[in-house]
Amino acid sequence: MGRWRIGVAFRVLAALLLIVALAAGLGGFALHTFRTLHHDVRTLAEQRLPTILAAAKLDRQAALLSAQAAALILAKDEGGQETEMMRILDLVDTLERLIADLEDGGVDTGDVATIREVKTGFVDSLHRLNMLVAQRNSLETALEAKLTDVLEGGGAAHGQPAPPPDAAGYRWHREALIALHSLQAAASAERRSDIDREERLLIGSLRQLDDAISLLHPSERVEAFAMRARLAGWADEGEGVIALRRQLLQTRDAIDGTLGRNRALADLLGAASTDLFHAGQSAARGATSAAAERLSTAEVTYGAVLATTALIMILTFLYLRESVILRLRGLQTAMAAHIGGRHAAIPTDGDDEIADMGRNLRFFLDVIAAREEELTENEQLFRTVAVTAPFPLLMLRASDGAILTRNRRAEAWLGLPADGEDTDDGTAPTIADILPDAADREALRAMAPADPAGEGAAPLVDREVRVVSGSGRAGWALLSAAPATVKGEAVVLVGLVDIAARRQAEQAVRESERKYRGLVENLKNHAVFAHDLQGRFTYLSPSAPDVFGHPAEEMARDYTAFMPPDEIPRWQKRQEELMSGRPFTRAYEAAYIRADGSRRTLAVVETTTVDEAGHVTGVEGIAHDVTDQRSYESHLQALVRELEKSNAELANFAYVASHDLREPLRMVNSYLGLLRRRHSHELSDEAREFMTYASEGALRMDRLILDLLEYSRVGRGDRPLVTLDLGAPLEAVRRNLAPAIRESGATVTLPEKTPVILGDRTDLERLFQNLLGNAIKYRHPDRVPEIVVDVAHGPEGWHLTVRDNGIGIPVEQAERIFKIFQRLHARSRYDGNGIGLAVCRKVVEHHGGRIWMEPNDTGEGSTFHVILPDRERAAA
């Protein structure tokens, strides 16, 4: 079936039809343009304008709600709150109607949902604000009533004259006034830290008040106990002045937070309404611009269609001249030029008969030129490949072995003269110059055919031959050769590959294999083995019988026969992993029964072997007997369990002993106190002095027992070490020592940045409590105490220093002070039991560090050094 062509007449008819189609399309485009303009104007009037108005009202409504929330906070009674909330609810209803108008106006559902979500959060925050304001008013009323009760109840204490300083009631009266002042200060405090400070002062005053009451005459105690009960009631943690003041501050903070959230939500609502307003404006402007653009496009389209119609008519008239007459004339000119041996362009454009004639002529001329060019390129290609090949190539004459041609690599490696040149003696080089072995030369000669027209022997492939270069250097090469006939003469084409490096590598591999085989075979107490996928040993080192306890031939037949029954399931599981075909390296322990019947445990490390395709073919590994090692580990674990049990019993004994020892001491103190209170007037001064000595001794004994109990608890291991910042225990200790710091006027400087370590916070607080407390306690009477804590990282971990300017410690006592019950000063000057620094050393050593003391270079005070390991060392 012939190919269908588009003729010239058909193209003219198509041009006329195109003109008609353009006119029809122009009319349809105009009608569509006017309909679109009408729809845009209607949409703008019905949807965009109401949306813009609703968005503007929404912004104003959000501002009104935010202002009303501020008014709600100012309400001080329930009636005021209710009035403000009624106004807020009216504004919320208006806000909901505006959102509904936006939804009806065609605003994106996602935008409406966002506004509604913000509105819901806004209303929720208003309800919470109302609840918090009511709670605040209630707390203020309750606090005011409680404070009135304090003022009325404490008026008696204020109105009474203070007893003389030497009277028994002076201390009671002073502590009661301090407690009342603390309550009043706490009730008016504006910061939690002030409340905490006043609470601590109040608690201390109540404790001092209890001691003072015990010194009053029984007739005065009733009133004192009543005042003490009222003070305790006013300081009650649940409904006291301090608790109410804390709740009031928390409620005010909550009101401020809720009001801030309310304002943020109002801002979000206003921003959303503003975005909708601008979006509506942009949409209106877009609709207007689109209408104008459509009108402009319609005008351009009309002009373009009219111009196109005129152009198509002109082109139709010019088509016959350009596509027929001129093309035939060009084809005739090209044929005449090629016949005369000149080059001329052949017209081949188009898909009609004229174009076919031009393409056929061009095809025949191109085929002839391509064949000639191909022959030239092939000759040049083969010559280039042969000359620049990276290995030597030679062409020999089969009859005498003369080297007819060679490439550059052959000239360089074999020391041959350049192609076309002779040797120094004027003769052409031959194969005998580079192949010293006659057998190799004979193999090449035998390849040539007896008849140049016939076929020679089969090609030689990768024959190892010894070669000699022109300089006399010998080497090895792989020779490949094939017979050929060139210009009627029998030749042999030879290629050589230098394998000297490969032979050296093979020799190195053989030497390495010999060395490592000797290492494996001489390895004692370890068995090197290999087995296939079925579990059959394919190799066992000479030491294997000593390790497994059976001859190698018996192990090679079936080594599972020497496994105990409980080991067989584990062996089967390991075989399943091996048969899965996934490479692995694994370590495990397996049990074997030796020939003497003893059960032994072997530690095995093995890895899979794979073939060239990457498939698992078996395993190779090493095994050694760890039975004695495991027995020793079990013995150590038993000893550890016994030690843990002993430590637990000692801890329990220390607790029970301390409790049982303190009970008689409490009884001695109680009865000595009774004797002093009831019969002091009957005793002589010497007897009363003896009673004081006995009471002080009992108190020292009680403190000594408590210190011993604390010393025994340090580092018991019942609390795990956790990650913590050293700044936390340092700050806690500074707060604990705040009264002593104020009393002594000391300055305590802590580092700005503290490290994070693994430690026990309770033990670290004991450490810093003792070090900082001692620095304050042993201060110099003529100097204001200055204590500086510093920290730096060193090779052993974190290095902390505690430096003071106190009375100092002699260098010869630097080790003694860390021993238990060692004191450097008389008890009359400084109290204590000599346990604090011993506790410090125990805490530091429990954390894996060390502690020591050095006198300061200035001669004033001393410096305690503490090394604590960083987290990595502590974890290890």
The secondary structure of the chain in percent helix, strand, coil, rounded to multiples of 5, reads 65, 15, 25
Q: Among 93-107, 497-511, 742-756, 792-806, which is the least confidently predicted range?
A: 93-107
Task: Identify the residue with better confidence: 153 or 768.
Answer: 768
Please determine, for residue 453, whether its predicted confidence score (pLDDT) is greater than 60: no
Per-residue pLDDT tens for 592-618? Answer: 888 888 888 888 999 998 888 888 889
Task: Give the separation between CA 870 and CA 649, rounded to whole angstroms.
Answer: 33
Give the pLDDT of residue 1. 39
For a pLDDT cut of 90, what percent of the chain falls above it? 6
Comparison of pLDDT for 188 and 555, the residue scoring more: 555
Report pLDDT for 851: 93
The secondary structure of 713-757 as a DSSP string is HTT-SSS--EEEETHHHHHHHHHHTHHHHHHHT-EEE--SS--EE
331-374 pLDDT, tens digit per residue, is 777 777 766 667 777 777 766 666 777 777 777 767 766 776 77
The answer, yes or no, to whether residue 516 has pLDDT greater than 70, is no
Q: Is residue 102's pLDDT more than 70?
A: no
Q: Which of 5-9, 360-364, 829-833 has the lowest mean pLDDT?
A: 5-9
pLDDT digits (tens, 9 = 90+) for 856-874: 888 888 999 999 998 776 6
CA atoms within a 13 Å half-sphere pointing along the CA-CB vector of 688: 10
pLDDT band of residue 813 (cuts 50, 70, 90) is confident
- Phi-psi region at 341: left, alpha or beta (left = phi > 0; alpha = psi -120 to 50): left
632 against 871, higher pLDDT: 632
- d(CA 514, CA 208) in angstroms, rounded, equals 91
Query: Region 457-483: what's the mean pLDDT?
Result: 82
On the question of pLDDT at 329 being above 80, the answer is no
237-268 per-position pLDDT tens digit? 666 777 777 777 777 777 777 777 776 766 66
Q: pLDDT of 376-421, one tens digit each?
A: 676 676 667 666 777 788 888 888 888 888 888 877 777 788 776 7
Sheet of 747-749: strand order equals 747-749, 786-794, 797-803, 862-868, 850-855
How far CA 592 is from CA of 550, 567, 570, 628, 658, in Å, comes to: 10, 8, 12, 14, 55
Show the DSSP H helices in 492-551 as ranges. Answer: 500-521, 544-548
Beta-carbon-side half-sphere exposure of residue 302 (alpha carbons within 13 Å):
9
pLDDT at 867: 93
pLDDT band at 51; cut points 50, 70, 90: low
State how far the Cα of 718 lies from the Cα of 655, in Å rounded to an integer. Answer: 15
pLDDT score at 748: 92
pLDDT band at 181 (very low <50, low <70, confident <90, very high): confident
Residue 157 above 60 pLDDT?
A: no
- Structure confidence at residue 868 (pLDDT): 92
> pLDDT at position 789, please?
94
Q: In the structure, what pLDDT confidence band is assigned to residue 43 with cuts at 50, 70 and 90?
A: low
The answer to whether 273 and 58 have CB atoms below 8 angstroms apart is yes
CA distance 350 to 319: 12
pLDDT (mean) for 286-292: 69
Confidence check: pLDDT of 800 > 90: yes
Position with higher pLDDT, 838 vs 751: 751
Half-sphere exposure of 44 (CA within 13 A, CB side): 17
**Range picked from 347-351, 635-639, 714-718 for highest mean pLDDT:** 635-639
Distance between CA atoms of residues 762 and 733, nearest Å: 11
Distance in angstroms (rounded) separating the CA atoms of residues 199 and 197: 5
Q: What is the mean pLDDT of the chain?
A: 75
Give me the mean pLDDT over the 295-321 stretch. Answer: 69
102-106: long-range contacts, CB 8 A cutoff, minimum separation 24: 102/51, 102/54, 102/55, 102/58, 102/276, 105/47, 105/50, 105/51, 105/54, 106/47, 106/51
Q: What's the rounded mean pLDDT across residues 637-657? A: 71
Residue 563's pLDDT band (boundaries 50, 70, 90)? confident
What confidence score (pLDDT) does residue 728 get? 92
Whether the pLDDT of residue 759 is over 80: the answer is yes
* Per-residue pLDDT at 776 exceeds 80: yes
pLDDT of residue 2: 45
Q: Determine the pLDDT at residue 451.
A: 62
Q: Which burial class, exposed, middle or buried, applies to 628 when counting CB atoms under 10 A from its CB (0-12, 13-18, 19+)?
A: exposed
Mean pLDDT of 210-215: 70
